[in-house]
Every structure is written in C-alpha cells, then in structure tokens.
Structure 1
Amino acid sequence: MYGFRIVDKLQKIDEDIYRDQLKYHSKRVLVSKEFTFDAAHHLHNYEGKCKNLHGHTYRVIFGISGFVDERGLMIDFGDIKEIWKNEIEIFLDHKYLNETLPPMNTTAENMVVWIYGKMAEALKREDRVNQYSGARVEFVRLFETPTSYAEARREWMEVE
C-alpha cells in the first residue's frame, strides 16, 4: 500500500540546490504541445463528401526542439500556447478556412504546411531567437478526424 507523504523540507535554491546544477545537460530536446480548434471548410476540384461545406474539430500537435537554458528549460509550454493563440489560432478557430487562410485548397496536407510555417516564423522572431536556444519546429501533425492526420516535418520543409 502506498501512503501519502508530506515533504519534510522544501528544496531551496542556493541552499539545497545551486543555480549551476539546474541545467542538467546540453543535449537537444523536443517538447510537444497539443491544441484543438473547430472550423468549417470545403474542398475544390474534389468529388466526395468534402466538396460540400462541413466542419471538423481539428487537433494540432507541435514538436519543437532546442537546447535548455541555465534553468533547464528549452521553451515554456505557456509560450507555445501564446504563439498558438495570438499568431495561428486566430486564423483557424471557428472560421471558414476557405476565407481566412491564404488561397489554397483547404486540405489537411496544405493546412499543416501553413501551420508549420507560422510556428517556424514565430520562433525565428528576434526576441524569441535570443530567448530560446536553437528552437525549431521538428514536426506539426494536423488531425482532421481522430484517426486521420497530415504531418509536416522539418527535414521535408527545409529541403524542398
């Protein structure tokens, strides 16, 4: 049986752990954050159900890598959320995607590349480059349904 234990003494910085111990390693690490949004769209030049106006609850997963700072943090999850909310989601959530996205057929394959580009652009802004060491988008997955997704990966986006 596992019992609940109250910590005897809360660890204190510069007393029980020192600042130079906070950064445990110098390896590249990946963090991931997931979001959902609801939107309507339809597809052009397509014969199937999706040629008609319809909606989805989309799910987006970001994989962002970089190096940890002196605190052992690569990027704050809250900062990823802020970029998502202020620079990407505003074009997507409860929108008619054919209207709010650049001219494209609003397929998951096209949209995931656009989302990837928006996040990559946001991480390259001067204030963020200085804050996050080597931060870059490694992948974006855009689920159109619970079992169907499109993915953009850094190695594909930077080469082609």
Structure 2
Amino acid sequence: MNNETSLRYHQKRVAVTKTFTFDAAHKLERYEGKCKNLHGHTYQLHITISGFLNDIGMAVDFGEIKDIFQSVIKSRLDHQYLNDVLPSMNTTAENMIVWIWKQIEEEMIKRDLTEEGHRLETLTLYETPTSSATLHREWMIEE
C-alpha cells in the first residue's frame, strides 16, 4: 500500500449526511392556528454534503460538517427566540431552511470546500418528529 491513492477505492462523488438538533422558540405571524402563540421545538437538521474521495478515501469529514453546523447554525439559533434572531420573515420551516442553506453554503465557501468540489446537496429541517421541510441543491440554483 505504498501508492498514495491506495486508500481510495473509487473516484465517484459520494454524499454524506450528519444530523443535529437545536432548541428554539418562535411564533407564526398572520397564521390562524395554535402556532400563532409562542412555542418551542427541538429542531432536527439533516445536512448532506457531497464530494469526491480524497487520498484516504473520505469524501467529507463528519467533523467538518459538525464544526460548520456549530459555528453558523447552532451558535446563532440554539435556545433563541427565532423571531428576533432571523431576518424579517415568518419563522416557518420553509423560510428557515433557505436561510440555513445560505449560511452553510457561505461557510463552505469560506473554508474552500466548494473550491475542492464539495457541494451542499440536501437539507431537511424537522420541526417535529413528523413534520419537516426539505431543500435540494437544484432548487437553490438561480433562474
């Protein structure tokens, strides 16, 4: 195993997913239902990033995904009142997931991950165990 690429089995793009949680409170504006009142959730966020394998056979380091989540999402949203800390928007899962996407993508650019061929592929944000919003890379491409 002297060849420097010997730990890489293939040259395919592979996506890896890591799951995180954070707790936050919010209320929905102009909504007629119980969520118009202040309430909280334990959000669950699934982050999927793809890349080509490096010389040790790894597409994306799970530790790097964790560091990105902690530095740009958890540090800003965990145990916060979302209506105060997010931009002017209704704090629906559908709005939040686009904001989260932009934060993660900006951080990946800062870390030169996109330059290395890594892509944010999918985010899924669970507001409850049975209710989620999903966003795919192709949906974020500007038309």
Given the superposition, is the C-alpha separation of residues 25 and 151 from structure 1 closer, same or farther in structure 2, using an over 3 Å criterion? same
Normalised to the residue count of structure 1, the TM-score between the two structures is 0.84
1:64-143 equivalences under 5 Å are 64-125=49-110, 127-129=112-114, 133-143=116-126
Q: How large is the RMSD of aligned CA atoms in angstroms?
A: 1.4
Of 35, 40, 45, the residue aligned with 2:25 is: 40
Normalised to the residue count of structure 2, the TM-score between the two structures is 0.94
Of 129, 132, 137, the residue aligned with 1:146 is: 129
Please give the alpha-carbon distance, in whole angstroms, between the structure 1 residues aligned to 2:106 and 2:11: 25
C-alpha displacement at 1:62, in angstroms?
A: 0.7
Gapped runs of 5+ residues in structure 1?
A: 1-12
Of 1, 8, 15, the residue aligned with 1:30 is: 15
Structure 1 segments (4+ residues) deviating >3 Å: 126-130
Please give the alpha-carbon distance, in whole angstroms, between the structure 2 residues aligned to 1:127 and 1:154: 18
2:125 alignment partner AA:
L
C-alpha displacement at 1:142, in angstroms?
A: 0.3
Given the superposition, is the C-alpha separation of residues 157 and 127 from structure 1 closer, same or farther in structure 2, using an over 3 Å criterion? closer
C-alpha displacement at 1:121, in angstroms?
A: 1.3
Percent identity of equivalent pairs: 54
Q: State the structure with more CA Rg.
A: 1
